[in-house]
Amino acid sequence: MNEIGSVTRSWTTSELLTVMASRALHDGQIVFAGVGVPLLAATLAQRLHAPGLTILFEGGVIGPFIVPGDLPPSTNEQRCTRRANMVCPITDVLMLLQRGFVDVGFLGGAEIDRYGNINTSFIGDPDHPKTRLPGSGGGNDIASLAHVIVAMKHEKRRFVERVQFVTSPGYLEGGASRHEAGLLAGGPKVIITDLAELGFDPVTKRMRIEALHPGVSVEDVEAKTGFDLDLADPLRVTAPPTERELEMLRELDPDRLYIA
């Protein structure tokens, strides 16, 4: 339990991210999900408002249904295949992105910048990194070829003016630069954090606040962001997680592997 502003919260940061991310998914969509928050959000959506949502896993899985309490450790183990419609080679499941069958890809990241570029490769100079991060995985492919939802904790060190390394492209330098680089489809759509929902101006492609979570002010968000944010007009306030959403989520992850 913690408190922001006047609202007492009875959920963890990961639970808030997961619930908000699940609401951004719609029935009938095909969703490329990693494990952790993305998978829980997609499964929660399936159980609450999007029964016809299809999950894809990078390991080569089409349309699985996850068994509560039996969450996979990555997208590449047999737990990912429970009640799946199909398994196929990795290259072929990733090819569905390029072919255009995927509505939404889910990403996280160490760093994101004002144009939605994501870094999961290096902190510091890539030739002499302070920290070598695990790298792209399918992140670059998802970000290049699909509309992307990003779920991450809102911290100043993560929301930076310019990422140190573009692992997964957002709108690059803004404006038409993504298209000019040869990326003809997709792009970041929503950034969901523990404070707000952010989107992008349709022309400049600069990040802007679309909605604040209950009890959060614009100043709270600005204080934790390393660059100036634009504001959408009107600015919405999200509804807090409901009992039903939280109950269902905790049922999916009873060991609190990913929602602690």
Binding site for other proteins (CB under 8 A): 34-36, 58-61, 70, 73-82, 87-91, 94-95, 97-98, 121, 126, 129-141, 143-145, 165-169, 172, 177-178, 181-184, 257
Asked if 121 contacts 168 with a C-beta cutoff of 8 angstroms, the reply is no
Cis peptide before 72 (omega within 30 of 0): no
Contact, 163 vs 112, CB < 8 A?
Answer: yes
The rounded distance, in Å, linking the Cα atoms of 129 and 114 is 23
Closest contact distance (angstroms) between CB of 153 and other proteins is 15
Reduced to 3 states, what is the DSSP secondary structure of residue 78? helix
Choose between 25 and 71: whose C-beta lies nearer to other proteins. Answer: 71
Shortest distance in whole angstroms from residue 152 CB to other proteins:
14
The catalytically annotated residue of 58, 197, 210, 245 is 58
Q: What minimum distance in Å lies between the beta carbon of 217 and other proteins?
A: 32
Per DSSP, 130 falls in state S
Q: Is 58 a catalytic residue?
A: yes
Nearer to other proteins (CB atom), residue 51 or residue 89: 89
Phi-psi region of 178 (alpha: psi -120 to 50; beta: other; left: phi over 0): alpha
Q: Which is nearer to other proteins, 168 or 238 (CB)?
A: 168
Whole-angstrom distance, CA of residue 224 vs CA of residue 154 = 6
Q: 77 or 251: whose CB is closer to other proteins?
A: 77
Q: Which sign does the torsion angle of CA 22, 42, 200, 114 carry?
A: positive
Which residues form the catalytic set?
58
